[in-house]
Structure 1
Amino acid sequence: MENNNRNKMKRNLVKNLSVLLLLTGCTGQSNYEKAIADFVQTDKRGTWTDLQFKVIEMGEPTNITVKDSISILTEKFDAEKSKRLAMLNESIARNKKSMEKERFTSMKEFYQKLIDKNQVLVDSLTRTSVELPDAYKNAAETTVLAKEVTCKFTIVNPMLNNAKQEITENFILNAAGDKCYRRNSKKK
């Protein structure tokens, strides 16, 4: 009788451990899937529509750290700054050409004012640098802020006569992986 009880207890223990391992092994992926499914099926106004979302394939999530985020912010700032500087410098060059061709003093003064105004903007913009959020200043570079995951999925869109669509996109989720911030088309 005692042996029988021990065997039952062992079987129950093994069964419970198996269920626990199965559940814990799936929670990470299901968190990502749920966050992505909710995000894909919710419009900008917060209305959820059942699009029969099904994951075909999900890549391994990659961490986005404070260091990565600083790099992204810096690159974006520098690109915008370069674009703006190029526009201002082109305007200065164009106004200088117009001023050289001009015969009337009043028009030369007009062009000079435009050149001076744009030059002040160029000088000011040249001295600027990216301003990071305060939270980044004391954070370790390795602190995980978000996760990026590539997901291939299907949806059935009622707006397209219930046509099934297969889509591959990159998703940015919070560090825990349970909330999706945005999605981007997969770059090829």
Structure 2
Amino acid sequence: MKLVIIKYNAGNIQSVLYALERIGREAVVTDDAAQIVAADKVIFPGVGEASTAMEYLRERGLDAVIKGVRQPVLGICLGMQLMCSYSEENDTTCLGIFEEKVRKFSGEGGLKVPQIGWNNIYDLRSPLFEGVADKSYCYFVHGYYAALGEQTIARTGYGETFSSALHRDNFYGVQFHPEKSAQAGERILRNFIDLI
């Protein structure tokens, strides 16, 4: 099986590679369209800022490549947000794979923004979460969140309730970092790799 991690100007690629190694998988890190399209599974990671990330993708034609992929794709953190229609972060038009809009946490009630640390995911509705207990704890680092909608497959509460995971067709996205989420994250990565 060929696993590809999309290379662009966003962090956390190394930690995703390490997490895959821990479950006995290797991945190629590339921004080459042919390699991305030929992969069995594609991971779209991300730690960074939406507008510069989208600019990078557009300059290299990767926006069209990602939207055209037919095999399973997993967006992580910023990767998931970029798969949404729009982000309030610097007024950014995103890929539009998911219909949800990305909003900034209000920080009301004294909640720290960004959210950094462990929080639970619940209302799990996808084969991506096979064998993952409802209310499992995963690791989050984000100041923006995807709103709830028809494509929501997991929820999390932090001041407001938001989409901690999304799914449409062959595209999946998780707001948390499975590569840093211990056993639950490891199981989610295995489930993604096993998706048909």
Question: TM over 0.5, yes or no?
Answer: no
TM-score by length of 1: 0.19
| Structure showing greater Rg | 1
From the two aligned structures, give the one with the greater strand fraction: 2
**Higher RCO, Cα 8 Å, sep 6+:** 1
TM-score by length of 2: 0.19
